[in-house]
Amino acid sequence: MQNLDDYHADRRCFLPTAAGDSQADNLDFIFVSGDAYVDHPSFGPALLGRLLQSHGYRVGVIAQPDWRSPQDFKRLGRPRLGFLVSAGNMDSMVANYTVSGKPRRRDAYSPGAEGGRRPDRATLVYCTRIREAFKNVDIIIGGIEASLRRLAHYDYWSDRLRRSILLDSKADLLVYGMGERAILSIAAELAAGRRAAELTDIRGTVWKCREDQAALVASVAQRLGCKRVQLPGWESLQDGTNGRRAYAESFLQQYRNTDALNGDVLVEAYGPWRIVQNPPQPVLEADQLDLIYELPYARTFHPDYAPAGGVPAVEEVRFSLVSNRGCFGGCNFCALTFHQGRRMGARSKESLLREAASITELPGFKGYIHDVGGPTANFRAPSCRRQLERGVCKDKQCMFPEPCEKLNVDHSEYADILCSLRALPRVKKVFVRSGLRFDYLMLDPDQSFLRELCRHHVSGQLKVAPEHIAPAALEAMGKPGSAVYGRFRHAFERVNRELGSKQFLVPYFISSHPGTTVQDAIALAEYFRDQGGTPEQVQDFYPTPGTLASCMYYTGMDPRNGKPIFVARTAADKALQRALLQYRDPANYRRVYQALTAAGRSDLIGNGPRCLIADRPPRGDRAQLPAAKRRGAVTSRDGRPRARRRR
C-alpha cells in the first residue's frame, strides 16, 4: 500500500463525489462506477471525466454506491445530460468470483481491498437503481463489462447464453471499446437537445430499434460507409446443438468486425427488437493520446479512502506510464481484440517524458518507474502498412500460425524511449512489467533490444507467457510453437550470462484451456520435469465474455473452422490438469496419480529419473493414495474398490 505519510491529496483536486464538494451543482454527467474513485488515467471514470471536463462539461462521480436502494444514486442530484455507468476496470463477476465460483475476499479496486463492495452484474443493478431514482433520465453504459457483453454472449457463471446487456440493463445507449471519441460525440448531441436513444450514427456504439425500422439500419450503414450484416437471432441461438453452431458463426462474424476501416454494421434480432452494433471508432493518433494522458489527474485515490488505507490497485500504476493501446498478438483467450482492437495506437516520446518528469515530483516517488507499456509493451506501431489503408485482415492473424511476411518488426523506437526515460533526473530505474511478446522480439534481426532489456529494465525476474508446450493446445490458444519460447529462453539466459546478471524468467501457463487434454497436461508436466523448477504462474482457464476461447468452451467447436474441440468442463477434469502442472506439490499427489493411471501413463509413477511422482505418497500419507491402493483396501478383479462384507 502507498505510504500514507506521503499522502497529501486535497478533495478539491478531484471530480465532485458529494453534494458539498465544489462544482457539485448542476452537473452535466454523473459517472457511476463499481470501482473506488482513483483519479488516474488507468481508471475509466477519471480518464473520461477529465476529458469531458476539458471540453467544458461539469462531471461528478458516484463510486461504489450502496446498490440496495436508489437513495445513494441521488447524492449528486439529477444530471442535466445523463448518467454514465460502468462496472469498473473489471467485469463484476470476475471481480467477485474465482474461476471455481468461490467469492473473492479481496478486491484491489476497493478501499482497503475489501471485497463485496460491488454487486454481481453491476451494470444491470446500477441501471435499475438509477431508473428507480430518476424517471426518464438518459443512461449510457460502457466499460469492460458492457463492452464485452454488447451482443448475445456466453455467461460462464450461469452456464448459458445471455442477451445483449443493452436490452437487459434497459439503458439507452452502449459505448464499446475505448470510449473517448464516442463520449465526446454523444455529449455534443445531448447538449444540442437530442436524447441518447435517438443516437444511431456514432461509431463505437450499440443501439436498439424496433423490427419495423430496417430502413433506419440500412441508412445508418450507408452513412457510415459499410455493409449491414445480419447475425443469427436470439431464438436460433437457443436451438440446442444447432444453436451452439449458430453462436459460433455469430461470434466469428463479430470477431471479423473489430476494425474501424473495414468493420460492418452488425444486427442481432430479439423478437420485436433489433440490437445494432456500429463499426468501431478509429484508433486515436499520438497527439490525441498525448492530450488525454496529460490532463490534470491527481494520480491517486480520493481522500475519503485514506482511513481504509487507500486503494491497492493504484499502487502498480501510480508510477507507471501507459505508452500504447491495442494488440495484434491475437491470443484466443484474450478479449483485447474485442475491446481495444488489433491496430496499435501509441503516445509520443515527448509526452511520455513529460509525464515521467511529473511522476518524479509525486509524493512517495523513490526513483523507480514501475512500467512503460500497455497490453503488449513491445508493440508500438501497426503491424504493417496495409492496416493504415484497409484495416486489419479479417481472416488472417499477424503472428499466427506463422508471422505474416508483411509484419513490421522494430524495437528501435521503444528502446530509445526507455533510454531517454532512465536518463531523467531523479530516475534510478525504469522497469518493463507489461506483457512482452517474446515471439515478436525473436523476429527482430537486431537483438540489441534484448540486451538493453536485460541490462536496464528487468528487476531480477521477467514475466512471459508461453502458456503451454503441446501443439494442439497452442493452436487452440493462437500461440506460437514451443520451439519459439525455447529459443527465447536460451537467448535470455545467454545475454544474462554475458552481462554477469542473475535474472530469471517467470513463465505463465494456462491449464484446462479448450483444446487441452490430460495428455497435453502430462506433456507439459514432463517439460517442467526436464527443465527443472515448478511454474509459479498457473491459471485455470476462465471463460469470460468476448474471447474466442470462451466461444470454444460453450460450443465445443472451433469457430474458425467449425471442427469439434475438446473442452475440460467439470471441476474434476480441471483439477486434474492443474494438478499435473504443479505435480511436485504433495497436496496434488492423489490427483496426479489418478490422471496418470487413467491416461495409461503409469510409466511416470515410480522412483526413476523420468517419473513425475513416486509410487507411494509423500511421508506415507495413506489418505493421498486412491482408495484401491491403500493398504487393506478390498478390490475386485478389475481393480476397483469393493465394499467389505459385514460380519
CATH number (domain holding residue 42) = 3.40.50.2300
Pairwise CA distance, residues 237 & 257, whole Å: 20
Shared domain check, 235 and 198: no
Helix crossing, 412-422 with 448-456: angle to 10°? 30
> Of the candidates 183, 202, 221, which is a domain's last residue?
202
* Identity of residue 622: R
Q: Which segments of 500-646 does DSSP mark as H helices, in order?
A: 518-531, 548-555, 571-581, 589-598
**Would you say residue 411 lies in a domain?**
no
Domain-located, residue 297: no
pLDDT at 621: 57
Q: Which residues of 584-593 are buried (b: 16+ CB within 10 A; e: fewer)?
A: beeebbbbbb
- The verdict on residue 321 lying in a domain is no
Q: Are 589 and 618 in contact (CB under 8 A)?
A: yes
| pLDDT, position 10 | 77
Whole-number pLDDT of residue 631: 43
| Cα end-to-end span (Å), the chain | 64
User: Into how many domains does the chain fold?
Assistant: 2
By C-alpha distance, which of 317, 344, 330, 540 is closest to 437? 330
Contact by Cβ (8 Å): 535, 474: no
Of 280, 313, 334, the residue at which a domain comes to its end is 280
Longest dimension (CA), the chain: 89
pLDDT of residue 12: 81
189 and 236 housed in the same domain: no
Which residues, other chains included, contact 59 with Cβ-Cβ below 8 Å and sequence gap of 6+? Answer: 15, 27, 28, 29, 30, 31, 49, 52, 53
CB 60 within 8 A of CB 15: yes
C-beta of residue 266 within 8 angstroms of C-beta of residue 254? yes
Let me know: does 513 contact 541? Beta carbons within 8 Å: yes
> What pLDDT is recorded for position 366?
95
Element (H, E) at 62: strand 59-63
Which residue type, as a one-letter code, is found at position 254?
Q
Pair (211, 190) in one structural domain: no
191 lies in the same domain as 209: no
- Cβ pair 582, 535 in contact under 8 A: yes
| 126, 85 contact by CB (below 8 A) | yes
Q: Rounded to whole angstroms, how far apart are CA atoms 382 and 397? A: 13
249 and 142 housed in the same domain? no
Nearest to 341 by CA among 387, 294, 291: 387
Residues 138, 186: Cα–Cα separation, whole Å: 11
Closest CA to 183 of 357, 297, 50, 373: 50
- CB-CB neighbours of 466 under 10 Å: 25
Q: Which residue, chain included where needed, has cell 495428455?
A: 519
137 domain residue, yes or no = yes
Instruction: Classify the C-alpha dihedral 160-163-166-171 as positive or negative.
Output: negative
Which triple of cell numbers denotes residue 266?
Answer: 452488425
Asked if 76 and 196 sit in the same domain, the reply is yes
The answer on 214 and 197 residing in a single domain is no
79: domain range? 12-202
Residue 604, SS3 per DSSP: helix
Name the residue among 258, 296, 452 with its Cα closest to residue 372: 452
* Same domain for 268 and 144: no
Residues 165 and 54 grouped into a single domain: yes
Q: Are residues 105 and 226 in the same domain?
A: no
Residue 448 and residue 415: Cα distance in Å, rounded?
Answer: 9
* Nearby residues of 53 by Cβ (< 8 Å), 6 or more positions away: 15, 59, 295
**Integer Cα distance of 524 and 576 in angstroms:** 13
Q: Length of the chain in residues, anyone?
A: 647
Residue 356 near residue 369, CB atoms below 8 Å: yes
Whole-angstrom distance, CA of residue 231 vs CA of residue 531 = 47
Structural element, H or E, at residue 322: strand 320-322
Task: Identify the bridge partners of residue 141 per DSSP, sorted by sequence position.
Answer: 85, 174
Query: What is d(CA 103, CA 90) in angstroms, rounded to the nearest whole number?
Result: 15
Residue 99 and residue 35 in one domain: yes
Query: Would 211 be classed as within a structural domain?
Result: yes
Neighbours of 19 (CB within 10 A): 12
Report whether 295 contacts 51 (CB < 8 A): yes
293 domain-assigned: no
H/E stretch holding 162: strand 160-162
pLDDT value of position 7:
54
What is the helix (H) or strand (E) element at residue 174, kind and residue range?
A: strand 173-175
| Residues 169 and 63 grouped into a single domain | yes
Q: Does residue 22 lie in a domain region?
A: yes
193-240 confidence digits (pLDDT tens): 999 999 999 999 999 999 999 999 999 999 999 999 999 999 999 998
Considering the domain boundaries, does residue 114 fall inside one?
yes
Pairing state of beta strands 429-430 and 153-155? Answer: unpaired
603 burial via Cβ count (<10 Å: 0-12, 13-18, 19+):
exposed
Q: How far apart are the C-alpha atoms of 90 and 52, rounded to whole Å?
A: 22
Task: Please write the tens of the pLDDT for every residue from 405-418.
Answer: 999 999 999 999 99
Ranges of the chain whose pLDDT falls below 70: 1-9, 533-534, 536, 619-647
Contact by Cβ (8 Å): 88, 122: yes
Residue 316 pLDDT: 86
Distance of CA 466 to the CA centre of its chain: 17
Q: Coil, strand, or helix at residue 438? A: helix
For residue 539, give the H/E element and its range: strand 537-540
Point out the domain boundary residue: 145, 179, 202.
Answer: 202
Cβ–Cβ < 8 Å for 531, 473: no
For 643, other C-beta atoms within 10 Å of its C-beta total 6
Grid cell in block for residue 140: 449510457
Query: String of b and e for 98-123 (b: at least 16 CB within 10 Å)?
Result: ebeeeeeeebbbbbbbeeebbbebbb
pLDDT in tens, 519-568: 999 999 999 999 876 676 788 999 999 999 999 999 999 999 999 999 99
